[in-house]
Amino acid sequence: MSQITVQGAPNIYVCEAGALTRMEEVIKKQGFKKGALIHGVKSWEASHEKFASLDLTLTHMLYGGECSKVEVARMEQAVLAEQADYLIGVGGGKVLDLVKAIAHTVNKPYILVPTLASNCAPWTPLSVFYDENGKFINYEIFPHNAFMVAVDPEIIIHSPKDYLRAGIGDTIAKWYEAEVLIRDMAPKPLAIEVSIHAAQLCRDVLIDEGLDAIKALEEKAVTPSFIRVIETIIMAGGMVGGYGDRYGRIAGAHAIHNGLTTLPETHSCLHGDKVAYGILVQLALDNNLEEVTTLLPFYNRLNLPVSLTDLNVSGNLADAFNKTASAATKEGESIHFMKHSSMEAVEAAMSQLEEHVQSYFNLAK
């Protein structure tokens, strides 16, 4: 077993109404003077009222829509020109990943304010990079966690429903990917035990309360289930990799996501939706169609994708299987942490999944 590095949590984490007021107090207590506030158009629309009452010196910077190496370099120069001594990232996963990468290159502390609960990006010191066309390139883990993560449920309650659904899909993958990575590990270090417990929480809480949280968002009601679900996505989801390191990060499901980014039809689909589909492919690859059957009713209730058709892919599915499997199994991909990871095995698993899903829903009619 390779060495485990624990990066368990940000320095400070709060999840409460008025979290940005707490953030202001922390910034002033720390002695930070000038911040670079990086956000997107929609994330600023969602959060600007919360910032209006804060007494902070902030320079607003609009990101270009993608977390790419080109965008990191562009924004890095803007941050240096402003001589900011800290960064604040406001938005979803791509904005927050961008801020983490910039903070690393300019060696400044950073604070993250998520406007969505679509993944664990606010928690984990990791950035996923894409090219300018949205194709996955790689990911990078950084040595420093966020100085603070400030989650205000009153912001996230106004986010689009699809992002919360996708966040649930992405976070359920924590259990399935971690379990396959540590299944045969003995003895398990304590950090791995913490990681797998957090992964189990992700699966159990989201299956039990995920639909209630989505209904709460539809009604714009910050309920206990809503808070529990967004904290599961952000905090528990982040703890899986934070304590488990490579044994708690990604395996087959995320590799399938990466493979799917080679299909232009999927570019409009959310990250978590593609990962959710990837869970089913991983289970088929692991010869566990029984668990696929267990998950299908839950997927159906939440409208998570169960086939390539649900990801806008039509026509020659064999070609889509081939392209996805080819990219998902390239050298260095996380799918190779699994026992079966050849391109041919992934193609067969995708085909088998399509047949299984079609058969399941035909019987359910």
Give me 149's structure tokens.
């993560």
Pairing of strands 58-62, 35-39: parallel
> Block means of pLDDT (10 residues each) for the chain, length 365 residues?
88 97 98 97 96 97 93 96 97 96 98 97 95 88 97 98 97 96 91 96 97 98 98 98 91 95 94 97 96 97 97 94 97 88 96 96 78
Is 170 labeled as catalytic in the residue annotation?
A: yes
Q: Is 271 annotated as a binding residue?
A: yes
Instruction: Please state, in angstroms and rounded to a whole number, the distance separating the CA atoms of residues 227 and 210.
Output: 11
Is 254 labeled as catalytic in the residue annotation?
A: yes
Distant-in-sequence, close-in-space partners of 48: CB < 8 Å, separation ≥ 6: none
Of 257, 273, 286, 356, catalytic? 257
Q: How many angstroms separate the Cα of 276 from the Cα of each of 57, 172, 192?
A: 40, 8, 23
Report pTM: 0.93
From the options 3.30.200.20, 3.90.950.10, 3.40.50.1970, 3.40.309.10, give the CATH code of 12-156.
3.40.50.1970
Please give the single-letter amino acid code of residue 266: T
Sign of the C-alpha dihedral computed for residues 108, 113, 119 and 122 taken in this order? positive
Domain ranges of the chain: 12-156, 169-364
Helices (H), 113-223: 153-156, 161-182, 190-218
Is 197 labeled as catalytic in the residue annotation?
A: no
pLDDT at 1: 63
Give me 251's structure tokens.
């395996």
Instruction: Please state, in angstroms and rounded to a whole number, the distance separating the CA atoms of residues 289 and 283.
Output: 6
Q: Is 115 annotated as a binding residue?
A: yes
pLDDT at 75: 95
12-156 against 169-364: fold identical: no
Of 152, 254, 273, 286, catalytic? 254
pLDDT at 26: 98
pLDDT at 258: 94
Q: Is 152 annotated as a binding residue?
A: no
Of 39, 152, 170, 286, catalytic? 170
DSSP notation for 309-327: GGGT--S-HHHHHHHHHHH
Is 131 labeled as catalytic in the residue annotation?
A: no
Q: In CATH, which superfamily holds the domain spanning 169-364? A: Dehydroquinate synthase-like - alpha domain (1.20.1090.10)
**∠ CA 25-108-65 to the nearest 5 degrees?**
95
Q: Is 130 annotated as a binding residue?
A: yes
Q: Is 275 annotated as a binding residue?
A: no
pLDDT at 365: 65
Q: Is 170 annotated as a binding residue?
A: yes
